[in-house]
Amino acid sequence: MRNKPNLFSSSFYLCLSGVHVVQVMYGCEWDDETQKVTGYRQFGYDGEDFLTLNTETNTWIAPQPQAICPEWLKKYVGYGRSSLMRTERPSVSVLQKSSSSPISCFATGFYPNRAEMFWRKDGEEIHDGVEKGEIVPNNDGTFQMSVHIDLSSVPTEDRNKYECVFQLSGDKEDVTNRLEKTRILTNESNISIVIILVVAAVAVLGLIAVIGFIVYKKMNAKRPPSPVNGPPPEETQFLPQT
C-alpha cells in the first residue's frame, strides 16, 4: 500500500492537464471503549473526496465517477501482459521407489501456478487411492507438483489403462502420460545397474589378476637357476709343488 500515493498521483498527471491539487490522508483510530483499532486511507482531488479505502474489506470506494478509469486498468494490464500471459509447459515423469510403492506423477517447470493434475482410467478421473500434493515453487520462478496413486492391488496387465493428466491454465492442450512399465523411473532399476557395474568391475579385476599370474609363471620358467638354488660346484684339488 505504501506505493499507492505515487501510483495515483502519476496517473493524475498523465490523464489531466492544468493545475490541480491531490491530497492523501491515511492513519489509524483507536476506540478506548471497544478497544477496536481501525485504519483509513483517502485520496482527495481539488478539495473533494476521490478515493477511499475500506480497510475491513480491503476494497476501494469511488465517491466520484472520475475515479473509475478503465483506461488505467488497460494501461497497467498492457505493462504486465508479458507476465500475465506467460505460459510454460512442464516436464512430466512417472516415478516409483519400488514395485510395492505408490506410483507418482511428477510435473516440474510449469507456469503459472494455476494447474491441475490427476489420474484417469479409461478416460474417467479417479479419486480412490489418489493423493494430491501441493503446488510449490522452483528456484527459477516456475512451479512443480505431484499426484500419487496406489495400484498395489491392480494386476500388472491392467495398469496400462491408467494415465496421468496435467492441465495448465491458458493452455488448451493437456499433457498426458500413459502408465507403461518402460516409462516408470524406479530406484530398483538404478540398483540393478549398480550391481551389474560392480560385478563387471570385479570380473575384470579377476581376469587381470589371472593374466598377471600366468605371465609371472612363464617368466620364472625361462629364467636360469641362481647359484644358491643350483647344483653344488665341482671341488678343485690343488697339487703340492715340487
- Domains of the chain, by residue range, sit at 4-76, 91-183
What is the reported pLDDT for 114? Answer: 93
Which of 1, 10, 2 lies closest to 69, judged by CA? 10
What is the reported pLDDT for 79? Answer: 80
Under-70 pLDDT residues of the chain: 1-17, 187-195, 222-242
Reported for 207-214, long-range contacts at CB under 8 A and 24+ positions apart, including other chains, are none
What is the reported pLDDT for 175? Answer: 94
**Is the domain defined by 4-76 classed in CATH 3.90.870.10?**
no
Alpha helices (runs of H) in 52-186, residue ranges in sequence order: 70-79, 81-84
What is the reported pLDDT for 7? Answer: 46
What is the reported pLDDT for 88? Answer: 92
Q: The whole model's pTM is what? A: 0.50
User: Is 91-183 the same fold as 4-76?
Assistant: no
Fold of 91-183: Immunoglobulin-like (2.60.40)
What is the reported pLDDT for 140? Answer: 93
Q: Which residue has the cell 481501525?
A: 38
Alpha helices (runs of H) in 80-128, residue ranges in sequence order: 81-84
Q: Give, in order, the Cα–Cα distances in Å from 149 to each of 15, 45, 49, 80.
A: 56, 60, 58, 38
Q: Give, in order, the Cα–Cα distances in Å from 2 to each of 57, 146, 161.
A: 18, 38, 55
Q: What is the CA radius of gyration of the chain?
A: 41
What is the reported pLDDT for 15? Answer: 52
